[in-house]
Amino acid sequence: MGTVDKAMGVLGLFTVEEPQWSVEDAALRLGIPASSAYRYFRGLADFGLIADFAGGRYVVGPAIIELDRLARRTDPLIAAASAPMDELALVPHNEKVVLLSRLYGRRVMCVDQRSTGHHKMTVSFERGRPMSLYRSSVSKVILANLPARTLARVHHEDASEIAVAGLGETADEFRRNLRAIRRQRFFISYGEVDAGVVGIAAPIMSPGGDVFASLALVLPAGSTHEAEVDALVSRVRDAAASVTENLRRTTAGSA
């Protein structure tokens, strides 16, 4: 493992649950000498990625905020999805959230969202929060379109989590379930992450033809009637297709 990997390992310690770290605590958690941890802390602090908050307790630094602003303004996916998300947010429901998410290693991360209405609906999947690759419509429409070799590997390594998520007790069931999602080009989840919430998601393709993101409409379960589900699915699929087309045009225009 190189120096950069080790420094990123230190940065990865900072979470909502554990937002402050000392050099000593980080060294103990990572199983490295305190001198090495100090070197990584100093390097990260020099770049503003972490900052000494008080008494040697470090927190995430201002460079992270700068990078977030840069991502919001320059990420091609966010730019391509802006108008389709605005359009999808016009769906005639008083309470709704529109989520734009992308593959993030072996997880999925929300990178943008729209929220309308004054509602009590709990949507814990928000911008910057990683989500399991096996739970929710947002993740499953991406998972279903990953390469067969990748799917074989994740099932080998995460078979129990996949079974709990209802995606299949065996590798064959897993493949069949994902094939069905891939063919219909959408997935609907009911309370998989947050109780009382319905999520309708469709895949987004990169200019290279790989599914790497998804667009989802999230509604309170009580406000979603069975008779209108087909129309909502169509709206989500059309919006996701628009994002895919916008990405293609952006790439073609810069060639």
Query: Which position has the token pair 């589900």?
Result: 229
Tell me whether the CATH fold assigned to 3-65 matches the one assigned to 75-254.
Answer: no
Q: Rounded CA gap, 112 and 114, in Å?
A: 7
Q: What is the pLDDT of residue 91?
A: 87
pLDDT at 118: 57
What is the fold of 75-254?
Beta-Lactamase (3.30.450)
Q: What is the mean pLDDT of each run of 10 residues along the chain (255 residues)?
A: 80 94 96 94 95 94 95 95 95 88 94 77 79 94 96 95 94 96 94 87 95 94 78 96 94 66
* Gap between the Cα atoms of 94 and 1, Å rounded: 50
pLDDT at position 116 is 77
Q: What is the DSSP string of 178-213?
A: HHHHHHHT-EEEESSSSTTEEEEEEEEE-TTS-EEE
Domain parsing of the chain, residue ranges = 3-65, 75-254
* CA separation for the pair 196, 140 (Å, rounded): 19
CATH (residue range 3-65): 1.10.10.10
